[in-house]
Amino acid sequence: MRLHDLKPASGSKHRRKRIGRGPGSGRGGHTSTRGQKGQGSRSGSSTRPGFEGGQLPLARRLPKRGFNNKSFSVVFIPVNLESLNHFDDGATVDENTLREVGLVNGRGDGVKILARGELEKKLTIKADAFSAAAKAAIEGKGGTCEVVSRVEISVSE
């Protein structure tokens, strides 16, 4: 088998439907698969996903009940070990210094240090969370991991 012998699986590729190319195309000729009249036959017509022709859409017909935990989820901004090599040996790294350098952007509930790559320097890192492998790698280089918790969990009585 060589590269020029490779072919896609039978039936996996379809020829593009070329509409609006006259009666010889087998696609309706003058109507070009759009039918005779109506909203869909007009030029520039399109309807949003879920539109049911004015009928109350399914998403609005179904009852909305129950509890959704998404609004209470905690979303950390990930930072990998390899990107921490940007800092000098012995430096203290926290979220503000990561933002100044451009390693952390956007909004989140804090920063989590992950173990991708290899750390080459001894650093003092203050973050909201550490993966177990990242913590081991940082402490293996003689650095320290300090957990700074900004996420407040309120419990109502």
**pLDDT, tens digit (0-9, with 9 covering 90-100), for 71-104:** 888 999 999 999 999 899 989 999 999 999 999 9
Q: Is residue 6 included in any domain, yes or no?
A: no
3-state secondary structure 104-136: CCCCCCCEEEECCCCCCCCCEEEECEECHHHHH
pLDDT of residue 151 exceeding 80: no
What local confidence, expressed as pLDDT, does residue 92 receive?
92
Give how many domains the chain has, as a whole number: 2
- Tell me, yes or no, whether 52 lies in a domain: yes
Residue 152 has a pLDDT of 59
- Expressed as residue numbers, the domain containing 28 is 19-65
Q: What is 65-118 written as a DSSP string?
A: -S--GGGG---PEEEEGGGGGGSPTT-EE-HHHHHHHTS--S--S-EEEE--S-
Instruction: Please indicate, yes or no, whether residues 88 and 46 belong to a single structural domain of this protein.
Output: no
141 and 79 in a single domain? The answer is yes
Same domain flag for 47 and 77: no
In a domain, 97, yes or no: yes
Residue 10 lies in a domain: no
What are the pLDDT digits (tens) for 10-68?
Answer: 999 998 888 888 888 888 788 888 889 988 899 888 899 999 989 999 999 999 888 88
Asked if residue 157 belongs to a domain, the reply is no
CATH number, domain containing residue 116: 3.100.10.10
CA 44 to chain centre: 31
Give me the pLDDT at residue 24, please.
87
Question: Are 107 and 121 members of one domain?
Answer: yes
